[in-house]
A and B are shown apart, each in its own frame.
Chain A
Amino acid sequence: GAVVSQHPSWVICKSGTSVKIECRSLDFQATTMFWYRQFPKQSLMLMATSNEGSKATYEQGVEKDKFLINHASLTLSTLTVTSAHPEDSSFYICSARPQGRSSYNEQFFGPGTRLTVL
């Protein structure tokens, strides 16, 4: 149980285009999902918290107009990188917190998406 999928697993796009990444909880409902980014040799950095039915909460320094998050259902959150540039190339990974769990519990991660912007 507690499986999270991400799609696509990797994507290459041209500079200036937008890319959408999907995060799905397959066997549980998640009112809260999280989006992280990891640059080479760095740690996972929390970008934003996605709440079902409401606006996402962004971490300091993360541009909300560039990284659009939509959490329209209890099993799906999407991250859209708008007008992507080479510096947005990174590994993006989501996680989901099962409905009703406290913050001490594990978050269940997807396998991540490798974005390369040419």
Chain B
Amino acid sequence: ILNVEQSPQSLHVQEGDSTNFTCSFPSSNFYALHWYRWETAKSPEALFVMTLNGDEKKKGRISATLNTKEGYSYLYIKGSQPEDSATYLCARNQFYFGTGTSLTVIP
């Protein structure tokens, strides 16, 4: 089993704060890292897929970086809004998921 770990498990931030989460994964035989946003009672929504060491992706206020050599990815949210409240999942090589980081943005 290839363990993907996410931290923190949960996070509460005030509206307007910036925040970040970590996804750690085994670096051997790596080919892709996916980030998803999962709101309660909805389908997980793909945010980013990254493949190359040093990759950086951005979508609005959300961005992600990838370090394949040391096996980690960071997800950043700038100026958090209540609608950003969700669980953020990462997946190594498409199928190996972490347990997620639950973000709550307090108005």
Give the contacting residue for B97; candidates A4, A41, A44, A112; CB below 8 A.
A44
Q: Is the CB of B43 within 8 A of A103?
A: no
Q: Is the CB of B34 within 8 A of A43?
A: no
Given contacts A43-B4, A43-B98, A103-B94, contact A109 B49 (CB under 8 A): no
22 pairs across A/B with beta carbons < 8 Å? Answer: A41-B99, A42-B99, A43-B99, A43-B100, A44-B89, A45-B97, A46-B95, A93-B44, A103-B31, A103-B94, A104-B31, A104-B49, A104-B51, A104-B94, A106-B46, A107-B94, A109-B36, A109-B43, A109-B44, A109-B45, A111-B43, A112-B43
Is the CB of A34 closer than 8 A to any CB of chain B?
yes
Q: Is the CB of B95 within 8 A of A34?
A: yes
- Chain A interfacial residues counted at CB < 8 A: 19
- Count class of interface residues, chain B: 20 to 34
The 3 residue pairs across chains A and B that have the minimum distance between CB atoms: A106-B46, A44-B97, A43-B97
Count, A-B residue pairs, CB within 8 A: 41
8 further contact pairs, Cβ within 8 A, besides A42-B99, A106-B46, A107-B94: A41-B99, A43-B99, A46-B95, A103-B94, A104-B31, A104-B32, A106-B34, A108-B43
| Residues in A whose Cβ lies below 8 Å from that of B4 | 43
A108–B41 alpha-carbon span in the complex (Å): 15
Is the CB of B59 closer than 8 A to any CB of chain A?
no
Minimal beta-carbon separation of A49 from chain B (angstroms): 9
A111–B100 alpha-carbon span in the complex (Å): 16
A104–B31 alpha-carbon span in the complex (Å): 8
Is the CB of A105 closer than 8 A to any CB of chain B?
yes
